[in-house]
Amino acid sequence: MNESETIRTMLGTPPRTIAVIGLSANPAKPSHYVPEYMQRHGYRILPVNPTVDEVLGEKSYASLSDLPIKPDIVNVFRLPQYIPAIVEEMLQLGLQNLWVQLGILNREAAARAEAGGIHVVMDHCIMVEHRHLSSL
């Protein structure tokens, strides 16, 4: 978990797709401006939030299973207790890359994900890491 090579591989060269679970329509929240930053840098954002119809110019979906395509990264802005169910859905769908935002940690879910072949970055901000890699 959180290995530098995993971070570099996940962020790769755009265009790539990022499903953002918990993406907010409120521009003041990190769950809005972080995905917005990634979108401005060439990533396609797929909102996963059943409480909004559209955000960042993209249709919002109720779950990962409802997405029209398989995302390259699943980026999570949800509380730690929701991570195990997200991991299980990812395993069912064959999704490969889980990124759980800064301040969110569930070691058991991370271990389950890694045991199932999912690459995991947890308790790191995808925007901060992208900026860091872009400055190298």
Q: Work out whether the CA dihedral 120, 125, 126, 128 comes out positive or negative.
A: negative
Residues 75-128: tens digit of each pLDDT: 999 999 999 999 999 999 999 999 999 999 999 999 999 999 999 999 999 999
pLDDT at 26: 96
Does pTM surpass 0.85?
Answer: yes
- What SS3 state is found at 65? helix
If one compares 34 and 5, the residue with the highest pLDDT of the two is 34
pLDDT at 14: 67
Nearest to 99 by CA among 126, 78, 129: 126
Q: What is the CA radius of gyration of the chain?
A: 13
Please report the domains of the chain, with CATH numbers, ordered by start residue. Answer: 4-76+84-101+115-135 (3.40.50.720)
Residues 34-77: tens digit of each pLDDT: 999 999 999 999 999 999 999 999 999 999 999 999 999 999 99
